[in-house]
Amino acid sequence: MNRLRSYGMPGGDDGHGRPVARRLVPRAGLMWAVVAPPVLLLLVFFVLPLAYLLFVSFMTNSQASLYELQPTLRNYVEIATDPFYLLIIQRTLLATGVVLLACLLLGYPVALYASRLSPRGRMVMLLLMMFPLMVSNVVRAYGWVSILGRTGILSVTLRETGLTDRPIQFLYSFEAVVIGLLTILLPFMIVSITNSLTAIDQRYTEAAQSLGAGPWQTFFRVTLPLSSPGVTSGLMLVTFLMLSAYVSIALLGGPRFKLLVSLVFDSASTFRWPRAAALSFVLLLMALIIAAVIQAVIRPQRVRGKGA
């Protein structure tokens, strides 16, 4: 007791005559001391700017200032009714769907193979797969420009082999954007699914096989459902990165193939800040809707026993 008090810690009794030190700082106070700084940073640097951007999206465009302090719904009404904006939204959804499907179909077999390697082999494979991510997206996009351009490697090869008699422009098309984004986003999908597959207890697959299930039945009834959290996280990650990949879309799609993120930049560069803010929230709404659909379709919560 004296030793406890000598350190400035008030003593107590646990009911059995043994001294017990009391906490100088309440547990709730300690929790708030840890949680408050990141919450404050999130509030100041994310929530408040987002709220201000939402406020700006309901203002009127102005050529003389950031915006004119006159509330209006015109920005959102034009986005919802203008055929040009509707076409861009449809194109954005189509490109996102194609990239998601391609990443899933190409990434799952690779992740399944990686999950069956030894820990050392899997680490080496994932490191090699992540190595291109160390290169800037701008550099990789320009690499595809040198391949798909009119005087690029692909066009020159086709002409030299006699498959075509004139240069072909593969750039500034839907295919160019999808291929470029696919090479950037595919590693994220593979890593997410690999982490989920390696966490599956092999006793589940062994039990299914012992009950007479074949390889395909085991995969579709055991492995695929248990890997749904990794599939979900990979699809959502690819979605968010896809919708915000302005540089790759601008370089590979050019002025002929624009997506919604391109219109956000165009509106901001022409000082139509309320229109850019409205387009940004439409893009955010699209991302949230796609994420909700992914969650509803795949239902990864079943793996944790929280869903039916």
The predicted-structure confidence for 269-292, as pLDDT tens digits, reads as follows 988 999 999 999 999 999 999 999
Amino acid at 129: M
Range name among 15-29, 145-159, 255-269, 276-290 with the lowest pLDDT average: 15-29
What's the CATH code, domain 98-257? 1.10.3720.10
**Model confidence at 186: pLDDT above 50:** yes
pLDDT band at 23 (very low <50, low <70, confident <90, very high): low
For the cut 90, the answer to whether the pLDDT of residue 187 exceeds it is yes
Residue type, 39: V
Nearest-angstrom CA–CA distance, 248 and 140:
8
- Across 179-202, average pLDDT: 93
With the C-alpha atoms ordered 179, 180, 184, 188, is the resulting torsion angle positive or negative?
Answer: negative
Q: Does the pLDDT of residue 136 top 90, yes or no?
A: no
CB 197 within 8 A of CB 115: yes
From CA 229, how far away is CA 116, in angstroms rounded? 18
Please give the pLDDT value at position 19.
56
Mean pLDDT over 76-93 rounds to 95
Q: 238: exposed, middle or buried (C-beta count within 10 Å: 0-12, 13-18, 19+)?
A: buried
pTM: 0.83
